[in-house]
Chains A and B, each alone.
Chain A
Amino acid sequence: MSQATNNKIFSNLWMIAVYLFLYLPIFTLVVYSFNDSKLISTWTHASLRWYEALIKDDDLISAVLLSLKIAGISALMSVFFGTFTAFALNRYKRFKGRTLLSSMSSMPLVMPDVIVGLSLLLMIISVQHWLGFPEKGLFTILLGHALLGTAYAAVVVTSRLREMDSKLDEAAMDLGCKPWQVFYLVTLPLLLPALISAFLLTFTLSFDDVVLSSFLSGPGYSTMPMVIFSRARLGLNPTINAVATVTIVVVTFAVIASSFYTSHQARKRKREEAQAYSDSNK
């Protein structure tokens, strides 16, 4: 065998091993959710009993609903504030305190969750001391998730803003658009794919968070990850596998659908651009 084929085999094996490592846990979660045994690791035979248990598990169901609500609202907040952050940092290159804003906006990305959670909670307690509100609960969890989400949304929107042609904005201005018209008619439609992916990303982050929620939640507000975490600490529980499988199926469909949507949009845009060029050359 030649040196080149040897190298090829080695590199393929390396890549397959890494992918196996990345997908092994996900695969076992799914397979063992259909296991009939109470002992999670001994396979007896296939059954849906953990899915039945899941449907009857009111604590877990209400936690899932709470998590969905929190993820939806906090993702909207994240996209809103993240878009403002990205615009401030990219459209205005020079203003007083730009460095401060850029380092504050990257802080939640790099700080360990325990520090973000602790510092936010102690801040909220101080405000409570002063003004008598906010109560720990839904609102405080939303604040925490939206803070983290804003930082991520800003990164996503920034990368789109960088590749967008600012000449289009200028052209619209030259043609007499007011700044807010430029934003609604030109910038926003061009930005939409980035806003959608920022929403999906921050939704997932919020839906997955356990540390911030544990710090910021009050009595009666247990999110899905908090419930799963407290059960996982005690030991293994096949109902968790059933929840995991359901979320994996939903998420996979969402990711595939959104990637189809974005590639469809990209092709449509290219087609329209080509059309516009050929029209102008007539």
Chain B
Amino acid sequence: MATKQGFFTRLLDGKHAVIGIPYLWFILLAAVPILIILKISLSEMQGTSVSNMIDWSNGWPKLTLNFSSYQFIFSDSLYLKTYLSSIKYALLTTLICLVIGYPFAYFMARSPKHMQPTLLMLIMLPFWTSFLLRIYAWKTLLENNGIINNVLMSLGVIDAPLQMMNTPFSLMIGMVYSYLPFMILPLYANLSKLDMRYLEAAADLGTSPFKAFWLITVPLSKAGIIAGSMLVFIPTIGEYVIPELLGGSSTLMIGRVLWNEFFSNNDWPMASAVAVVMILLILVPMAIYNKSQAEAEMK
């Protein structure tokens, strides 16, 4: 069938519209903006606006790349320290979520079949309540004159209030609290499909339940562990709201640095450079996540 189609009939035909509309949408709102921050990160502030990268004053284009923002990031120890501490807090959050979430998902997958939809809904329900309000609630709990301290003091457990707010502890509480469901859901999806006959076979062959867990259950749930860990690790690296409300100034997080560069210092190239380095940091875990998803789809 070699019918000759005009450009407009082809444009209006279903397939091209179905593909073209989302393509245009994402190119405009996802791809172009990333290219623009890449461009702005390579310029510098001139007064209140950003310098032009391409200069036409001599009649031909002259490209000026300005690496000063990147030089600053890599020479100033505060930026490096902030990146490292963001990675540290993100790793710690991932680890704690895994330690709490794995047994939870395992027990949930082993609970009676008729209970499981309800248990699952109870995990998802907090999602529907504003994330911001839940973080605010932790603030009311953890403050020096907050609810936890008041309860502990009235019970006589402590004499003076514990300093919990604006410490790494309050930051970790907020992050683990917010991202724990992202760890539990993929792990549960994976563990609930686990073939119990492997474990029965292992038990018949005399393997202890503990050994069977490490040798069979854990390796078989690798895909769930990877998916859950990446879903926690990637967003926590750039988190802004939780460190701002619960972390205080002593906990360094790169999302807050970006925000302050933009809103307080009005330094667009610096904010863009911070963002570009953050994207590079996320690319590796993102690639791991995509690979594990593609493998899971193949099965």
Q: Within the assembled complex, what's the spacing in Å between the Cα atoms of A114 and B286? A: 17
Asked if B21 is at the interface (CB within 8 A of a chain A CB), the reply is: yes
- Chain B residues with CB under 8 Å of A19's CB are 122
Q: Across the interface, do A110 and B36 meet the contact criterion of CB distance under 8 Å? A: no
* Inter-subunit contact B139/A236 (CB<8 Å): yes
Bound complex: CA A97 to CA B145 (Å): 56
Q: What residues of A have a CB within 8 angstroms of the CB of B103 in the complex?
A: 11, 14
> In the bound complex, how far is the Cα of B8 from the Cα of A196, in angstroms?
33
**B218, chain A: closest CB distance, angstroms:** 17
Interface of B is mostly: helix
Q: Taking each of A11, A19, A110, A112, which has the highest tally of chain B beta carbons within 10 Å of its own beta carbon? A: A112
CA distance A252 to B130 in the complex (A): 12
A104 to B272, CA, bound (A): 19
**Residue A47, interface by CB 8 Å:** no
Q: When each residue 179-194 of chain A gets 1 if its CB lies under 8 Å from chain B and 0 otherwise, what string results?
A: 1100000000000000
Q: Contacts A11-B107, A25-B138, A41-B150 given: A111-B143 contact, CB under 8 Å? A: no
User: Would you call A65 an interface residue if the criterion is a C-beta within 8 Å of the partner chain's C-beta atoms?
Assistant: no
Residue of B nearest to A87 (CB): B18
Residues of chain A from 28 to 77 with CB closer than 8 A to chain B in the complex: 28-29, 32, 39-42
Question: Do the beta carbons of B235 and A110 come within 8 Å of each other?
Answer: yes
Known: A122-B40, A126-B36. A40 touches B244 (CB 8 A): no
Interface pair B128/A118, CB less than 8 Å apart = no
List of A residues within 8 angstroms of B134 by Cβ:
25-26, 29
B136: chain A residues within 8 A (beta carbon): 29, 228, 232, 240, 244
Which residue from B36, B123, B177 sits with its C-beta under 8 Å from A119? B36
Q: How large is the interface on B (under 10, 10 to 19, 20 to 34, 35 or more residues)?
A: 35 or more
Task: Using A104-B26, A119-B33, A208-B131 as known contacts, say yes or no to A111 and B15 having CB atoms under 8 A apart.
Answer: no
Bound form: Cα–Cα A107–B25 in Å: 13
Q: Which of B74-82, B196-204, B274-282 contacts A (4 or more CB under 8 A)?
A: B274-282
Q: Mark A138-172, 1 if CB is under 8 A from B, else 0.
A: 00000100010010001000000000000000000
Is the CB–CB distance between A18 and B240 below 8 Å? no
Partner of A255, one of B21, B125, B137, B139: B125
B40-85: which have CB < 8 Å to A?
A: 40
Are B140 and A28 interface neighbours, CB within 8 A? yes
Indicate whether B180 reaches chain A with its CB closer than 8 angstroms.
yes
Give Cα A105 to B282, complex, Å. Answer: 16
B139, B180, B258: the one within 8 Å of A232 (CB): B139
State the CA gap A96–B14 with chains docked (Å). 16
Which B-chain residue is minimally distant from A120 (CB atoms)?
B33
Q: Is the CB of A28 within 8 A of B137?
A: yes
A222 at interface, CB cutoff 8 A: no
Q: How many residues of A contact B (CB 8 A)?
A: 76
Q: How many A-B residue pairs have CB under 8 A?
A: 210
CA of A252 to CA of B240 in the docked complex: distance in angstroms? 27
A residues 238-282 in Cβ contact with B at 8 Å: 240-241, 243-244, 247-248, 251-252, 254-255, 259
Task: Check if A199 is an interface residue, CB within 8 A of chain B.
Answer: no
Q: Which residues of A contact B22 (CB under 8 A)?
A: 81, 84-85, 88, 101, 105, 150, 154
Taking CB atoms and an 8 Å cut-off, the chain A residues in 82-111 that contact chain B are: 84-85, 87-88, 91-92, 95, 97, 101, 103-105, 107-108, 110-111
List the A side residues contacting B258 at CB < 8 Å. Answer: 114-115, 118
Output the nearest chain B residue to A124 by Cβ-Cβ distance. B33
- A1-40: CB near B (< 8 Å → 1, else 0) gives 0000000000110110011011111101100100000011
Using A114-B258, A119-B34 as known contacts, say yes or no to A41 and B140 having CB atoms under 8 A apart.
yes
Given contacts A25-B137, A32-B140, contact A208 B132 (CB under 8 A): yes
Q: Which residues of chain A come closer than 8 Å to B15, judged between CB atoms?
A: 92, 95
Residues of B within 8 A of A259 (CB): 121
Pairwise interchain contact B241-A229, C-beta atoms closer than 8 A: yes
Q: Tell whether B215 is near chain A: CB-to-CB under 8 Å.
A: no
Query: Are A228's CB and B133's CB within 8 A?
Result: yes
Q: A25-B138, A110-B282, A122-B40 are in contact. List 17 more A-B contacts (CB 8 A).
A: A11-B103, A15-B111, A23-B126, A26-B126, A88-B22, A101-B19, A101-B26, A107-B34, A111-B238, A115-B238, A154-B22, A179-B14, A204-B128, A229-B132, A233-B245, A236-B140, A254-B128
30 examples of A-B residue contacts, CB within 8 angstroms: A14-B103, A14-B107, A15-B108, A23-B126, A25-B134, A25-B138, A28-B147, A41-B147, A42-B145, A85-B22, A104-B26, A104-B30, A104-B31, A111-B279, A112-B240, A112-B255, A114-B275, A119-B36, A120-B29, A120-B33, A143-B29, A180-B14, A208-B132, A210-B132, A225-B130, A228-B132, A228-B136, A229-B241, A240-B136, A243-B133
A-B interface, 8 closest residue pairs, ranked by CB to CB distance from nearest: A112-B238, A25-B137, A119-B33, A85-B22, A123-B33, A104-B26, A11-B107, A244-B133
State the B residues within 8 Å of A (CB): 14-15, 18-19, 21-23, 25-27, 29-34, 36-37, 40, 100, 103-104, 107-108, 110-111, 119, 121-123, 125-134, 136-141, 143, 145-147, 149-150, 177, 180-181, 234-235, 237-241, 244-245, 255, 258-259, 262, 268, 271-272, 275, 278-279, 282, 286, 289-290
